[in-house]
Amino acid sequence: MVNVTADSNKPQEKTVNMSPWAIARRKFFRNKLAMISSFFLLAIMIVSFLAPYITTQDISRVNIGQMSLEPGGEHILGTDKAGRDVFTRLLYGGRISLVVGISCTALVILFGTLVGSIAGYYGGNIDTMLMRFTDFVLTFPFLVFVIVLNTILFGIVDGLWVLIAAISLLSWGGVARIVRSKILAEKENEYILAAISIGCKPSAVIIKHLLPNVLSTIIVQATILFATLIVAESALGFLGIGVPQSIPSWGNMLTASQEADVLRNKPWIWMPPAIILTVTILSINFIGEGLKDALNPKSFR
Amino acid sequence: MLKYTIRRILGMIPMLLLISIVVFLLAKAMPGDSLSGEIDPNNTDPEYIEDMRERLGYNDPLPVQYFNWISNFVQGDFGKSTRYKMPVSDLILEKLPNTVFLGVSSLLITYILAFSMGIIAGRKPYTIGDHIIGGLNYLGLAIPSFIAGVFAIYIFSFNLGWIPYSGSVDIRLTQGTFEYWMSRIHHVIMPAIVLGALSTASYTQFLRNDIIENSRKDFVRTARAKGTPTSKIYNVHILRNSIIPLVTFLGFDIATIISGAIITETIFTYPGIGQLFIDSVFNRDYPTLMAITMMLSVLTLAGNLVADILYGVVDPRIRLD
């Protein structure tokens, strides 16, 4: 066996000209708050998605013998008013909240980028029309229309997808606006003119040349959106309108706090989802700040 | 300025039409009779339903139905609530004062808190005070309002007993007396703070950054050089310039308050439009639901209009395009 020494062809470390992504990565890794938040978020995601392997308790079965047990013993965080284990529901709830958050963010970013880049690239009448439409969607009061859409679609499609569709349908406006303004500024550059003059198709110009240059903005937007949309989902769940009550989500678990008795005397039922939700939102925000800082070439930290 | 205002108002009309069409179509998509509420949902006799549908004009072509609905709506006839068996307009009028009171108190508290915190932080940036205010802001922006509300009730109502946890007034008091108004303020203060937390945080942040930026400008150096006291520089010269952009936020606040009120009123069981809205969802009271949807959409649009016009007032460059 030949043991090749890696030293000979090892790339020179700390090359003078690092790529922008390498610089951003280094800046992000040095940001302690953002790194701690990333690890925390990752841990939450892993634990939530592995929920079926971590606990064996049934999440939906009502157990009258074990109603409103205080934390301790067999149930680490106690049980709720229907005798279901709070810890288990917390894990499963995280799964739903994160799935809704991630899929809404993906849909919103996809659609917003599509509309924004087409409007920004073509300009003229197409731009005016698409942006008027975006303005129109943005004037809808978000919560009001999500609730109305949810009420109409409820029962026609599976509950979770109704929620994802309704939230995504009303949230893409902001992304479209930002992407458009970035594309407008970017397409004035000469490399775009060069790409067009050698005969690139518009789709190739947008995807291969324009989007990579506005990607940093989109990434930062996606992080902010992720936090906002998780909040939107849980707010709807809290109001009792979002995900069907039979499926636990962090928002659904908080609905219990609307009963004065639970709120006053049984804090172990509503405090865990409230705290975990707040900490998750905070950590996503910290990651967002870290990314913004790291991707901004003008910041030296 | 007048020309600009008129242009803005005219520009709003197509938006208003489009929104009303969307609300109308949504109402048609709702199960049952959600436009007028005249059909009794408990009577399932097909002959009765068909008779009522014919009488209410539901078999007319859609544009005719839309036109009838919108002309009724403009005249203040919002249909009849299927749950309370009374005109929706009366129902809304009954709850509206509470929501307006909540919104105005929330705005007042926002302005008072944001101004005092923003000025303190902006005047002495990068000190302990500034960092504490910065941290509070961060929490205000990150913590969802319903979690803040739930914790507020748990801590201030149940554990400390400072504030009531539900209602808008102590019902034993007679209307119009001094105690009555004190009780209303007592009931509204916590929901108003929770409702205004988000705007307070963003205002404070904005004001702080703007004050810091302005304090580096030439006119401040001139004022210092001619011996103007520091407090006067900050409170008069700088503040006046920093307030201008804040004015434009007022319009957007209307939209924030509308969406926020739905959540806040539910947490604090405060009887207002937001609670009526949520109740109507659960009671399948669709005429009420759609009337409130239409009303809130129009209000949001009006808020955007106010923001646009105020923008033109404070920044003359906007008026030109």
DSSP string, B142-174: HS-HHHHHHHHIIIIIIIS--S-SS-SS-TTSP
3-state class of A182 per DSSP?
A: helix
Which residue in chain A is spatially nearest to B253 when comparing CA positions? A141
Highest mean pLDDT among A157-171, A272-286, B154-168: A272-286
Count of the separate structural domains present in chain A: 1
**Number of Cβ within a 10 Å radius of residue B321:** 5
Task: List chain B residues with CB under 8 Å of A278.
Answer: 142-144, 147
B310 part of a folded domain: no
For chain A, say whether B296 makes contact (Cβ under 8 Å): yes
pLDDT at A203 over 60: yes
Does position A6 have pLDDT exceeding 50, yes or no? Answer: no
- Minimal C-alpha gap between B47 and chain A (Å): 25
Residue B61 lies in a domain: no
Q: What is the pLDDT at residue A237?
A: 87
Predicted confidence at residue B225, as pLDDT, reads: 92
Closest Cβ opposite residue A148 in set B19, B26, B267: B26
Instruction: Tell me, yes or no, if B12 comes closer than 8 A to chain A by beta carbon.
Output: no
The reply to whether A168 falls in a domain is yes
Check the CA dihedral A245-A247-A252-A253 and report its sign: positive
From residue B97, alpha-carbon distances to B168, B254, B273 in Å are 11, 15, 9
DSSP reduced 3-state for A73: coil
CA dist., res. A94 & res. A237, Å (int): 13
User: Residues of A with CB below 8 A from B304's CB?
Assistant: 139
Distance (Å) from the alpha carbon of B297 to chain A's nearest alpha carbon? 6
CB contact (8 A) between residue A149 and residue B26: yes
Arithmetic mean of pLDDT, A27-32? 86
Q: Write the residue in A148, A239, A254 that is nearest to B150 by C-beta.
A: A254
B25 assigned to some structural domain: no
* Ordered DSSP codes for B184-247: HHHHHHHHHHHHHHHHHHHHHHHHHHHHHHHTTSHHHHHHHHTT--HHHIIIIIIHHHHHHHHH
Q: Is residue A68 part of a domain?
A: no
Whole-number pLDDT of residue B106? 92
Task: Assess contact for A291 and A109: CB atoms under 8 A.
Answer: no
CB-based contact A152 B30, cutoff 8 Å: yes
Q: Tell me what pLDDT residue A252 has.
A: 86
DSSP, residue by residue, B51-96: HHHHHHTTTS-HHHHHHHHHHHHHTT---B-TTT-SBHHHHHHHHH
Instruction: Return the SS3 of A85.
Output: strand
Q: What residues have CB less than 8 Å from A21, skipping those under 6 apart?
A: none
Tokens of B120: 């303190």
Q: Which residues 23-52 of A have a C-beta within 8 angstroms of B?
A: none
Record: contact B144-A285, CB cut-off 8 A: no
According to DSSP, residue A270 is labeled: H
Is B76 touching A (CB cutoff 8 A)? no
Angstrom distance (rounded) from CA A150 to CA B142: 26
Distance between CA atoms of B15 and B21, rounded to whole angstroms?
Answer: 10
Largest CA distance in chain B: 88
Residues of A in contact with B32 (CB under 8 A): none
Contact in structure between B26 and A152 (CB atoms under 8 Å)? yes
| pLDDT for the residue A61 | 65
Strand partners, A72: A75
Chain B residue closest to A256 (CA)? B150
Q: Classify residue B132: in a domain, yes or no.
A: yes
B276: contact with A, CB 8 A cutoff? no
- Tell me the average pLDDT across A63-69: 66
More confident residue, A55 or B161: B161
The two counts, helices (H) then strands (E), for chain B are 13, 0
pLDDT computed for residue A4 by the predictor? 45
Mean pLDDT, rounded, for A273-282:
90
Euclidean distance between the first and final Cα of chain A, in Å? Answer: 46
User: Looking at CA atoms only, how far is residue A171 from chain B in angstroms?
Assistant: 14
- Residue B201 covered by a domain: yes
Q: Residue A119: which pLDDT band, with cuts at 50, 70 and 90? A: very high
Do B262 and A143 make contact, defined as CB atoms within 8 angstroms?
yes
Q: Residue B99: inside a domain, yes or no?
A: yes
Burial A177-213 (b: 16+ CB within 10 A, else e): bbbbebbeebbeeeebeebeeeebeeeebbeebbbeb
Is there a domain that residue B28 lies in?
A: no
Higher model confidence: residue A71 or residue B25? B25
Q: Which of A151, A281, A285 sits opposite B281 (nearest CB)?
A: A151
Instruction: Taking each helix axis as running N to C, give the angle between helix B239-247 and helix B249-267, from 0 to 180 degrees, rounded to the nearest 10.
Output: 70
CA distance A288 to A223: 5
Of A141, A152, A274, the CB nearest to B259: A141
Confidence tier at A229 by pLDDT (50, 70, 90):
very high
A29: domain CATH number is 1.10.3720.10
Work out the pLDDT band at A157, boundaries 50, 70, 90.
low
Q: Does the CB of B160 have a partner CB in chain A at under 8 Å? A: no
| Angle value at C-alpha A53, between A94 and A39, nearest 5 degrees | 50
What's the structural domain count of chain B?
A: 1
| Complex ipTM value | 0.81
* Residue B13 sits at the chain A interface (C-beta within 8 Å): no
If one counts every other C-beta atom within 10 angstroms of the C-beta of residue A130, the result is 19
| Mean pLDDT along residues A203-218 | 90
* A185 inside domain: yes
Helix (H) / strand (E) element for A144: namely helix A142-153
Domain span at A285: 19-51+84-295
Residues 6+ apart with CB under 8 A from B289: A148, A151, B30, B34, B277, B280, B281
Range of the structural domain that residue B231 is part of: 91-243+259-272
- Could you tell me if A117 and A180 are in contact, meaning their C-beta atoms sit under 8 angstroms apart? yes
Q: What is the pLDDT of residues B220-229, one digit of tens each?
A: 999 999 998 9
In this structure, of A77-81, A286-290, B160-164, B312-316, the range with the lowest mean pLDDT score is A77-81
Contacts with B, A 114-173, CB within 8 Å? 135-136, 139-145, 147-149, 151-152
Min CA distance, B231 vs chain A (Å)?
33
Residue in B closest to A135 by C-alpha:
B15
Tens digit of pLDDT for each residue in B164-213? Answer: 777 777 777 777 778 888 888 888 888 998 998 888 998 999 999 999 98
Cα separation of B79 and B286, whole Å? 10
Written as one letter, the residue type at A225 is L
β-strand partners of A154: A157
Query: Which single residue is written with the structure tokens 């929104």?
Result: B19
Q: Which of B166, B258, B281 sits opposite A141 (nearest CB)?
A: B258
Which chain A residues contact residue B19 at CB under 8 A?
Answer: 136, 139-140
**pLDDT, tens digit only, all 321 positions of chain B:** 788 888 888 888 888 888 889 888 888 887 766 666 666 666 667 777 777 777 776 777 788 888 888 888 888 788 788 778 888 888 888 888 889 999 999 999 999 999 899 989 988 888 998 999 999 998 888 888 889 888 888 888 888 878 777 777 777 777 777 888 888 888 888 899 899 888 899 899 999 999 998 888 898 999 999 998 988 888 888 888 888 778 777 777 887 888 888 889 988 888 889 989 988 888 888 888 888 888 888 888 888 888 888 877 777 776 665
Residues of chain A found within 8 Å of residue B8, distances taken between Cβ atoms: none
- The shortest CB-CB distance from A139 to any of B150, B290, B301 is to B301
Residues with Cβ within 8 Å of B188's Cβ and at least 6 positions away in sequence, in order, are: B101, B102, B105, B168, B270
pLDDT of amino acid B25 = 87
